[in-house]
Amino acid sequence: MKKIIGALALAVGAGAAYGQTTPQDLGQIHGNFQTDIQYYLPDSAIPGVIVPNEKILMNGFANLIYTKGPFSAGIRYESYLNALQGFDKRYQGNGIPYRFATYTRGDLEVTVGNYYEQFGNGLIFRSYEERGLGLDNAMDGVRLKYKPFRGVYLKGVYGKQRLFFAQGPGIMRGGDAEIQLNELIGGEYNPDAFRVTIGGSVLSKFEPDLDPVYVFPENVTAGAGRISVSKGNFTIQGEYAQKINDPSALNRFIYKNGQALLIGANYSQKGFGFNASAKMVDNMDFRSDRAASGNVSTLNFLPPIAKQHTYLLTAFYPYATQNLGEMGAQAEVFYKFKKGSVLGGKYGTEIALNFSKIHGLDSVRTSSYEGYRAKFGAFGKQLYFQDINVEVTKKFSKHFKSVFTFANIKYNMEVIQGLGGKGTLNTWLGVADLTYYINDKYSIRTELHNMTVEGNHDRGSWAAALVEFSVAPKWFISVIDQYNYGNLDKTLRLHYLLGQLTFVKDANRFALSYGRQREGILCVGGVCRQVPGIYGLTLSITSSF
């Protein structure tokens, strides 16, 4: 210990002495900060709203990064006193769960400590953070990146994974290689040429088997291969992944190998774009802890192939990938009617059409240790999710712009939320997003929503309205009302009213809100954030320097 302190003191001393002679070489320090403080109020009308004993809860963090030439190091201090409602209570107290040092020497980059990384699309490995969701599966260990030749990119990772303020039981080791054939062959970089990129990755997890009953594989290996081919504005790509049998609490301890396939194609030219993708997931839940669930200790990322809605009500029933098995497809078309055409008008009209459909696997249960067998690439009978939506963006004049969204979303609550007997909802949505620009400084934005819910009804139909007055570049005043007018229980036909005042100065942002906030992505005050559901007062401060 003393040695470490001594060494550090020496390093700091040397740095300071060096700094005095050449102050411009001292390096740079930068960072950011965020805190959310919530004061909870009792809400007799809404069942399930609980005021915590502390009455006030707080989440906060600050990143501090030091960079000097090819060297950088940083820490993140996090504070949960105690964690906000909606966050895992295992986030508790203060600490520095994230610290790293990295340097680049020639074509080699070395990182020790914490890091985030992903191989390909993330089908077998993605370590990432979504701070607003309380998701952080940062690695802690060693990472190397090396470019041995032009066009060849190698990555190696070795480490454990963050689990709140501790680490999960698994040890991960893996590597990824990507070859950009055009660069390897040589010649000038030409983005429009016929281009081929191939890649492959392996990740192996070691997790001790301490179970008295089951015999678990202690080493679980997953591998993936990918290819991307493009010419001009046309791209086609695919990635296939496999994982050896990995019995876990979530897959109910079946000894079946897992696999995933993601393919996609896109094309665009000025005024037109097209994007399509398909995905199969077969027993591909992969974690550094076989007992974990939720968004804890996840090792991979299987992207949901459905549109990511961000309006209040269109985001009400969002899709989440079913890691244990699903088969889905998505297609999207973007088109812009030119200025001066009949549909384009004076400023042009943009239209985006999106369709996605996700089913269960076409599978049969077996009595063997594998649990089930699925047909490759086949849609099962059970619908998990379907979304048909259209978005029209139209500017009417210098002062008035609008976005109209219509969607029909079918949502299998039983599967997506794991609520037995809940069946599937059929929802019809309409949103008008209208912005009136008074002048360069003042503007008013209004959103009007309606969502009709058929099927089992869940909480029934909703209407919502949002009014936001902004004074560029500093102030936003927003009021949101969401009204659950269609609830079958008449006592729950309530208004969820939320007011927010936001002040932004450069990279400092202060937001104070009061009322009933539903959980989800909230895009007010000029930014989009993931927020938990509460009733009370919230103060959010973010800052970067």
Partner 1 sequence: MKRTIALLSLLCSTFFALSGYAQDNGSKRKIPASKIKDLKGAEINTETLSNNGKPMVISFWATWCKPCVNELSAIAETYEDWQAETGVKIVAVSIDDARNVAKVGPMINTKGWEYQVLTDQNGDFKRVMNVNTVPHTFLIDGEGNIVWQHNAYAPGDEKELYEKIKKLSKGESIQ
Within 365-384, the residues that bind partner 1 by CB under 8 A are none
For position 189 contacting partner 1 by CB under 8 A, the verdict is yes
What number of chain residues touch partner 1 (CB under 8 A)? 113
CB nearer to partner 1: pick between 104 and 363: 104
Q: Distance from first CA to last CA of the chain, Å, rounded?
A: 33
DSSP bridge pairs for 91 = none
For position 504 contacting partner 1 by CB under 8 A, the verdict is yes
Residues of span 437-476 touching partner 1 by CB under 8 A? 437, 439-443, 445, 470-476
CB nearer to partner 1: pick between 89 and 505: 505
Q: What angle do CA 384, 329, 178 make, to 5 degrees?
A: 120
For position 304 contacting partner 1 by CB under 8 A, the verdict is yes
CA–CA gap between residue 35 and residue 80 (Å, rounded): 10
* Distant-in-sequence, close-in-space partners of 279: CB < 8 Å, separation ≥ 6: 260, 261, 262, 263, 302, 303, 305, 326, 327, 328, 329
CB nearer to partner 1: pick between 230 and 487: 230
| Residue 279: CB minimum distance to partner 1, A | 10
Here the tokens at position 508 are: 């400092």
Number of Cβ within 10 Å of residue 18's Cβ equals: 12
For position 60 contacting partner 1 by CB under 8 A, the verdict is no
For position 405 contacting partner 1 by CB under 8 A, the verdict is no
CA 62 to each of CA 81, 88, 99, 283, 373: distance values in angstroms, whole numbers, following the listed order: 15, 19, 12, 37, 48
| Residue 243: CB minimum distance to partner 1, A | 17
For position 180 contacting partner 1 by CB under 8 A, the verdict is yes
Site string for partner 1, 239-278 (x = CB under 8 A): -----------------------x-x-xxxxxxxxxx-x-
Number of Cβ within 10 Å of residue 17's Cβ equals: 9
Number of Cβ within 10 Å of residue 488's Cβ equals: 11
CB nearer to partner 1: pick between 41 and 179: 179
CA–CA gap between residue 17 and residue 31 (Å, rounded): 24
For position 117 contacting partner 1 by CB under 8 A, the verdict is yes
Residues of span 75-104 touching partner 1 by CB under 8 A? 75, 77, 95-96, 99, 104
> Which of 416, 444, 207, 397 shows the shortest CA–CA distance to 324?
416
For position 402 contacting partner 1 by CB under 8 A, the verdict is no
Residues of span 349-368 touching partner 1 by CB under 8 A? 350, 352
Q: Where are the alpha helices (DSSP H) in 30-187?
A: 181-185
Here the tokens at position 518 are: 């539903």
| Residue 310: CB minimum distance to partner 1, A | 5
For position 430 contacting partner 1 by CB under 8 A, the verdict is no
CB nearer to partner 1: pick between 39 and 510: 510
